[in-house]
Chains A and B, each alone.
Chain A
Amino acid sequence: MVKIRLIGFFRFVLGKEVIEVQLEKPTKLINVIGELPDKERAIVLINGKNASFDSEVTNSDEVMIIPIIGGGF
């Protein structure tokens, strides 16, 4: 199963901290997760490496979707 961890705003929007999906074949991340608001303000990491929503993911991958933020006050 591909494991997708959602942080901050994206966790809030999807109402889940982690999404796990069994894939039949390598699939573009966007097709696994569907459309997201404010996608242009997201950082996508697959197994800790920079990637995008168009990157293909497989069952062994761990994905993190991180919002771009600006730090505290």
Chain B
Amino acid sequence: MYGWSGKILRINLSTNKIKTQTFDLNFALKYIGGRGFAVKILWDEVPPGTHPLSPDNKLIIASGPLTTIPMPSSGKIVVAAKSPLTGGYGDGNIGTMAAYHMRRAGYDALVIEGKAKKPTYAYIENDTVQLLPADELWGLKTTDAEEKLKKTHGTVGVISIGPAGEKLVKFATIISEGGRSGGRPGIGAVMGSKNLKAIVFKGTEELPLYDKSLTNKLGTEGYKAVKQKPGYPFWMRQGTVATVEWAQANSVLPTYNFKEGIFDYADNVNGYAMEKIKIRQKGCPSCNMVCGMIIKGDVIAEIDYENVGMLGPNLGIGDYAKIAVLNKIADDLGMDTISLGSVIGFAMEASEKHLINEKIEWGDAATAIQLAEDIALRRGLGDLLAEGTKNAAQKLGNGAEEFAMHVKGLEISAYDCHAAPGMALAYGTSPIGAHHKDAWFISTEIQMGRFVISREKVEKLVWMQRVRGGIFETLVSCRFPWVELGYELENYPAYFKAATGIDMTLDDMFKIADRIYNLIRAYWVREMVVSGNSWSREIDYPPPRWFKHPLTKGPLKGTKLSYEDYDRMLSWYYEIRNWDERGIPTKQALINTGLEDVAVELSKYVNLR
């Protein structure tokens, strides 16, 4: 077998047992890697109804066959677990040298089970795996912990959690290299619940490539092709931060907790303003589209569009100096910036509506900064907000749920959808809750007619999920060369062939993507039903705000979503996926995608149609 090492490292922190499990080509080709491996392991091994922060949950770090091969933007790993924020399947990806070293240590994936008695970190150097005391690291910021570990172990890749992960903040992430953050649905809290502060990788083996010289040749051509794309020079200047101007122009910039899609001070926080305070850029391994913009505000921080949108306009803050501070707190303490921006925005609105006693006004950066720290350390109001927007709203009641901006418990990322019905559906049907990773649909939506409600639009959305959530999250490589610069999708089967020796078309990859989507969906259904929630299609609805409170500003003033239109699109979505009208995969859908065993298991919990 080429492309994969065929090895999964399993560490049980309760028993200190460490073993290497092998898998064969059938498994590899059925699930490819990344989230494919992750959901398969979670489905098979984590008992239904397991509390996400209990030792029975499993933390999975998974690469794919293209991870860190010499090709553009391949330096990523997926981190996954049952989510403490949503109760369903959760994952995220991180661009980090840990990806490089994990692969070269000879592992495709790592499964962490159980719970250590005391703070621990794992040191993995090729075949040698050690569980070491982390008492001196516990409580440290991610940056400080990583620095200490690098001092001890030299040239290594490190992923770690901060105080937020230790204190089980429901949207704690796993952090690497100061500003690389992954696992929005609280994967950092799962790591914290296991008393695991960090994982350190050092790998010195060669990747098991089928055709090394062809891989190198394709990669060399690929880097060149990316660089020659017309959009490259502008991308290198602003990266994703250019999206601020774009989102403002299209009335989708999240403003005042998603009340509006435009912000009066957007020009202060757009890509041009960012360029004035940019001091350098940072990329992931194997990347020549380095998109981490390091800015000097009141502190130095690494930002991208999502951070700016959620910690800026969404809070009414039009000042990079303060956005940098909020962003740095999130990275140092180990929290997701999107959810952090959402819960603080929620608190500002709750304060405005007198649902909480604390005073926190729109644009009040000083209080927002204090609150961000309180959330990470679970102090005062921060303790409530650390539970995430959905839980906080349920606790407050009195209509707070109308402006709790989440789907399935995961806070919505930085795109307002009052005037973007297809993007609302993308959030509604994203397999981890409201995130744009699987389908960022707004460009396509505007191209196809912004307010058009059609089956064709939904078909395009499903196609996009197959590519972004299917192909890129299982090969585990960054989507940006393709999606941002137009680097052709057809290159990926070619890389796959060079790495693994196996011919696979894009259509083959789409079928695997559908299998993985079905399995993730089955996971959600099983977990929701077993924990006593009644299952309904409403789980795929975006929050009431977008349907009830129209935009009050800008060229699209008065616009809101319609439940009727949304339901039509959702029904088409289910039809295209061969799911029933409840949004549950049909027996046939599971059988058609090679998941007969899943159909048997799932039918213990619901009647499959």
Given known A-B contacts A5-B249, A9-B231, A41-B486, A73 and B237 have beta carbons under 8 A apart? no
| Any B CB within 8 A of the CB of A1 | no
CB <8 Å contact, B443 and A69? yes
Within 8 A of B (CB), among A12-62: 12-13, 37-38, 41, 43, 45, 48, 50
B176 to chain A, nearest CB (A): 14
| Any A CB within 8 A of the CB of B442 | yes
| Any A CB within 8 A of the CB of B309 | yes
CB <8 Å contact, B415 and A71? yes
Chain B residues near A38 (CB-CB < 8 A): 229-231, 486
| Any B CB within 8 A of the CB of A64 | yes
CB <8 Å contact, A66 and B231? no
A4 to chain B, nearest CB (A): 13
Q: Mark B228-269, 1 if CB is under 8 A from A, else 0.
A: 011101100100101101100110000000000000000000
- Tell me if B's interface is mostly helix, strand, loop or mixed: helix
Given known A-B contacts A7-B246, A8-B246, A64-B249, A71 and B440 have beta carbons under 8 A apart? yes
Chain B residues near A7 (CB-CB < 8 A): 245-246, 249
Given known A-B contacts A43-B447, A71-B436, A72-B413, A9 and B234 have beta carbons under 8 A apart? yes
Interface size class of B (residues with CB under 8 A): 35 or more
- Select A68's contact among B240, B243, B447, beta carbons within 8 Å: B447
A49 to chain B, nearest CB (A): 8
Q: Mark B318-336, 1 if CB is under 8 A from A, else 0.
A: 0000000000000000000
Size of the A side of the interface (Cβ < 8 Å), in residues, is: 23
CB <8 Å contact, B309 and A72? yes
Q: Mark B482-504, 1 if CB is under 8 A from A, else 0.
A: 11101000000000000000000
Residues of A within 8 A of B (CB): 5, 7-9, 11-13, 37-38, 41, 43, 45, 48, 50, 64, 66-73
Sorted nearest first, the 10 A-B pairs with minimum C-beta distance are: A71-B440, A70-B483, A72-B305, A38-B230, A37-B230, A72-B240, A72-B306, A12-B234, A68-B443, A71-B436
* Given A7-B249, A66-B446, A73-B291, 4 further pairs, Cβ under 8 A: A9-B230, A71-B436, A72-B414, A72-B436
Residues of B within 8 A of A (CB): 229-231, 233-234, 237, 240, 242-243, 245-246, 249-250, 271, 291, 304-306, 309, 413-415, 436, 440, 442-444, 446-449, 479-480, 482-484, 486, 555
Query: What would be 28 A-B contacts, judged by CB atoms less than 8 Å apart?
Result: A8-B234, A8-B243, A8-B245, A9-B230, A11-B245, A13-B230, A37-B230, A41-B231, A43-B443, A66-B246, A66-B249, A67-B246, A68-B444, A69-B443, A70-B482, A70-B483, A71-B305, A71-B436, A71-B440, A71-B442, A71-B483, A72-B240, A72-B243, A72-B304, A72-B309, A73-B240, A73-B304, A73-B306
